[in-house]
Amino acid sequence: MKTKLLLFYLFVVSFLNAQERYNILWLSCEDIDPTLSCYGVKGIETPNIDRLAKEGIRYTNAYSTVGVCAPSRSSIITGMYPVSIGTHNMRTSHQVTYKGIDGDKYPSFQAVTDKKGRNIPTYSAVIPAEVKCYTEFLRADGYYCTNNAKNDYQFYPPFTAWDENNNKAEYRNAPKGMPFFSTYNYVVSHESRIWMKANDPMLVDPNKIDIPDYYPDIDVVRKDVGRKYSNIVELDKQIGEKIKQLEDDGLLDKTIIVFWSDHGGPLLRQKRAVGNTGLHVPLIIRMPKQEMAGTVCNDLVSLMDLAPTMLSLAGIKPPEYMQGNAFLGEYKAKPREAVYGSADRFDEVYDFSRSVIDGKFSYIRNFLPNTPLIYRIKYREQIDMTRELIKMDQQGELTGGAAYIFRDQREVEELYDLDNDQDEVYNLANDPKYRSQLVKMRKMLANWQLEIGDKGFIDEYDLVQMFWPGIVQPSTERVQVKETSKGLVLSCPTEGASIGYQVDEQIGGNHWMLYSAPVKLKKDQTFIARALRIGYQVSEPVSYSKE
């Protein structure tokens, strides 16, 4: 295996040095753990995703940073831990689609309070000034970037992040000869589809699937776990259609394909969980011309690593501020020793837990131990089995692993042996035989929290005040224009702001050029420029005409 991976690394370096630049296609889905036949799961067939694994690299130890979508996606788009940049509370607002450059409107009330009972308005996180959406680096390097179409980042998506950002965005729109980076998000596997598709035909046999140890084996559980599997089968079909489109366009062997899920499965003890059951995700990468086909990589990977890895594969050195590590390409880093996860506010309920996973053990530290593991959230109680399990718990009918996850209070520390307990129902934290492992991972977590500046210790209302003093969203200052012999040099007094501009017929449209070098205008051309720091209001436009 080591020889195979070395050959793969040499291949990556060689093709990046070639004249042709490869496209990158992301196929992202929602709310699935590695419940795929290529991961050895019984009772399901996913031939199209299996094909990607057969023709590419399958990662067995990939993990999200958070067990819910918006914080997780904030880490993917930035390459940063959510608890480090203040995007950890789910969710800051309900703006999950791009509504144009002036679309960041925030109602002052969202029926959520912090731990002290103070109202939390809708808001956009103000992330550190140096942190950008990584697609800006791709755009600056000549990639045409499209997003179809989710923008669940915990901040309003900057207009400089994408060339196209809507439900019609397509890689086919890339100018001829220009490499593309395109992402498509598939929602059929989302938690909400468990109840929304409850009456659809079942595409698997619920009697032939394995039930996790943390559920009782009863009819309603088999029905909803079966629906999860069935939705994944439907997802697989949709993935196959996009692969065929790429193939029909003659681009399959000119494109890097990346398949991933934003976090683990959609059911109890999966979505929103901070350990292996909530963070473990599938990750498959198919390289052009099936290079290293069938490779299985057991290295630990965080989804946060996707940002620097895409830059690395494009031959772009990842910025030093990124907390993610490139795991492929020219700037590949050493494999991780551990991955880290977090759980904070989920809708109307506060959690505060952190995790360390080293591939063999998962360690969880609960900072609110006097709270139940399965807390009440209205959204997920639309699932039949969730309501039934809550009822059974109240009547004292749960036993074994199901009773374990419904305990009234959590322990301060949890430790699980993943080789023997993937479902995390046998806590070893108090077992003397595992004392050294417990202490080791406890120290790892504490050092990590100090290193990244864990903002979970700040009450959310105070955090919003830090972002928006007086709960008033700050504004980005206007772009400054200076004419030089090399063209128009643009700058913005607001630290960390990105600048976009439009020329002539582009003005008034949705597409903005990313400013990364002096702009050369021809005689009689007109342009406008605007700037945005993430979390701020966009600047007023500045116009300029070449006479």
Catalytic residue of the set 38, 69, 133, 145: 69
What is the C-alpha to C-alpha distance for residues 354 and 343, in angstroms, rounded to an integer?
A: 6
Angle between helices 47-54 and 219-248 in degrees, nearest 10? 60
Beginning with the edge strand found earlier in the chain, give each strand of the sheet holding 361-366 in spatial order. Answer: 339-346, 349-357, 361-366, 413-417
How many other C-beta atoms lie within 10 A of the C-beta of residue 129?
13
How many Å apart are CA 372 and CA 394, to the nearest integer?
Answer: 13
DSSP string, 146-215: EEES---SSSPPPTTS-SEESTT--GGGSPTT--EEEEEEE-TTSTTHHHHTTTSPPSS-GGGSPPPTTS
Separation of alpha carbons 401 and 389, rounded Å: 12
Pairing of strands 339-346, 349-357: antiparallel
The answer to whether the beta carbons of residues 345 and 351 sit under 8 Å apart is: yes
Q: Give the full edge-to-edge strand order of the sheet including 542-545.
A: 513-514, 498-503, 526-532, 542-545
Q: Which helix (H) or strand (E) holds 246?
A: helix 219-248
d(CA 132, CA 219): 48
Pairwise CA distance, residues 301 & 283, whole Å: 9
Q: Is 492 a catalytic residue?
A: no
**Amino acid identity for residue 164 in this structure:** E
CA dist 315 and 322 (Å) reads: 16
Q: Which strand (E) or helix (H) includes residue 366?
A: strand 361-366
Residues labelled catalytic: 69
